[in-house]
A and B are shown apart, each in its own frame.
Chain A
């Protein structure tokens, strides 16, 4: 039974079967329920906020955002993609959180020459040999945060590190990325089941292995449970934990709490970035939703701005995909992360920073930027991409 929630966000009269040229239709598919639903909800909330702040428009045209929940299931995601593209005739598809759902769904977009703008996932095959002109990534290449974390682990001099990630494309990318820049010994490389919630068996192994550090890539509900169980098992005192930036953002900080203090991570954005776009974004998000935005929300916001820029620079000719592509490639917008530019595989080249979880001026737990790990960092797969 695949039912989806469709919140039709229309600014102007919804003429049935209206032409695509006088408004922009965006299909937004994301994981909005389940233990990892908080991520999708953040991306959606930020995206919708950006459109609202823009006067319910994207690039000067009225915007309609169709929202669907993939329920963390690749086949549901794909069916939604199919429907949005074939029945609703969206101009852009976006929103997916997880790489497995993305890999199942984007072929539909590519085959039908619809642009997919990723606010999160960017698996390595799509960065390299399978790179596609209809794919734009507004967030980061999958490996990037992990490469930065690996570099950090090297910088800190950890001799042996235990690695854990879920057994899917992004998990594979994560540990491959970490190992690329980590010069110490890998104590063990363990892949858990995607969506697994009980880590008692894995934690016992970690305890027995006695590594210098533990690196985990466990987004969403998986991370929440792992960190809670990690602390409950008494391992937080013995083994330093390193995570990529999405392993300890607000969606995990909220349920886990103070146990997160002092945790180091790598990311390309933090709440305390001091540029005009970011200040505006964080303030607006807090005001609208009464909570702090995560890095996912930042990405959702940037994705909306990117689409806005592309439509604006196409001067409204959005039926012509090539025009929109060129406009999007130029990426002329104010990103919350600072400067933004695309690599030739249409994934970003950007800086990556070291952050730590600490209390801000109001006693809330946030990620503070404390250093730069990489500057103008691309990805390791772009040489396999045949696009120019």
Chain B
């Protein structure tokens, strides 16, 4: 493989990790918190746009832009969560979806920042220390560090008191309330943390592609993130990472590496990749709701039980 081919794949790996971060952030609120938020793309988008607008206005330092993205997403999550979490069940789902759509339309109408065309950025953010994020390899390691730290943070969070309370609320909200836990506050905190992490993923996404457009806020993106979470394993530590990796790799393989025998069997199959995704998703929901991580841990548990 030529050098530029390798760079393409390094860039692809970075993209997978960024989506892994976004999916993991959704997993916190969806898998562990049990809150079916259909508007998570709004937070990813808020982070992406916050970072991009700052870049467009001349702020190139990642140390300013990325925390700003996190803050913007957290603020948005706080606002949306405070209103939405007063509802339950389907109303919650609908209202999170509706808020995400509102953000989509608002961003779309911001002609100053590209509107529908999106915003092209001149360069990636700067982190100093003599490191150039413009280099694919450097960017890859930066994203890797961030993803690893976030997964570690998630691990600590889940195993802390906060994590246990959140899961308890998910399991039985009435009982949690009955024993005096401030359900609303815990859920809102969880929602905000997840949103903030999503915002960070958004900032990274904008920097990676040097481009942002309202499509990143569209509810189909929320759907994609949910697919990644359930594919990888709802409520499992590595669920978001596995789901993102599997989905994006499959997508790339199907689109860019035509299989002769499959082409003969089903002409133009590459154009209908979504059919495969839909079928797999349906199968998972119906037959393996614990996702890939769930299957793996079940196998491990069974292997342990098998006689030596």
Contact = CB atoms under 8 A, between A and B. Distances in A.
Q: Do A and B come from one complex?
A: yes
Interface of A: 1-6, 17, 73-75, 78, 82-83, 86-87, 89, 99-101, 103-104, 107, 167-169, 194
B117 A104 contact: yes
23 contacts: A1-B277, A3-B254, A3-B274, A5-B271, A6-B256, A6-B258, A17-B2, A74-B215, A75-B213, A75-B215, A75-B216, A83-B256, A86-B4, A87-B8, A100-B115, A100-B116, A101-B117, A104-B117, A104-B120, A107-B211, A167-B111, A168-B115, A168-B117
A202 to B, nearest CB: 17
A377 B274 CA distance: 47
A104 B211 contact: yes
B192 to A, nearest CB: 28
A129 to B, nearest CB: 15
Contacts of A101: 117
B9 to A, nearest CB: 9
Contacts of A194: 116
Interface of B: 1-2, 4-5, 7-8, 11, 111, 115-118, 120, 209-211, 213, 215-216, 220, 224, 251, 254-256, 258, 268, 270-274, 277
Nearest to A102: B117
A296 B256 CA distance: 29
Contacts of B4: 86, 89
B109 to A, nearest CB: 9
B113 to A, nearest CB: 13
Given A1-B273, A1-B274, A3-B273, A87 B5 contact: yes
A99 B115 CA distance: 13
A17 B2 CA distance: 8
B8 A107 contact: no
Contacts of A3: 251, 254-255, 270-274
Given A74-B213, A104-B117, A168-B115, A87 B273 contact: no
Contact of A5 (B2, B215, B270): B270
A31 B258 CA distance: 22
A86 B8 contact: yes
A74 B118 contact: yes
A194 B111 CA distance: 13
Given A74-B213, A75-B211, A4 B255 contact: yes
Nearest to A194: B116
A3 B15 CA distance: 16
Contacts of B258: 6
B271 to A, nearest CB: 5
A151 B110 CA distance: 32
A183 to B, nearest CB: 28
A324 B258 CA distance: 32
A3 B220 CA distance: 14
Contacts of B215: 73-75
B287 to A, nearest CB: 22
Across the A-B interface, the 9 shortest Cβ-Cβ residue pairs:
A100-B117, A3-B273, A5-B271, A75-B215, A107-B120, A103-B117, A86-B8, A1-B274, A104-B118
A104 B215 CA distance: 12
B257 to A, nearest CB: 11
Contact of A75 (B1, B118, B271): B118
A2, A73, A75: which has the most chain B beta carbons within 10 Å? A75
Nearest to A33: B271
A17, A104, A168: which has the most chain B beta carbons within 10 Å? A104
A6 B270 CA distance: 8
A134 to B, nearest CB: 15
B2 A1 contact: no
B270 A74 contact: no
A169 B116 CA distance: 10
Contacts of B115: 100, 167-168
B268 A5 contact: yes
A1 B255 CA distance: 11
Nearest to A8: B258
Contacts of A89: 4
B251 A1 contact: yes
Nearest to B121: A107
Contacts of A17: 1-2, 5
Contacts of B224: 1
B258, B271, B272: which has the most chain A beta carbons within 10 Å? B271
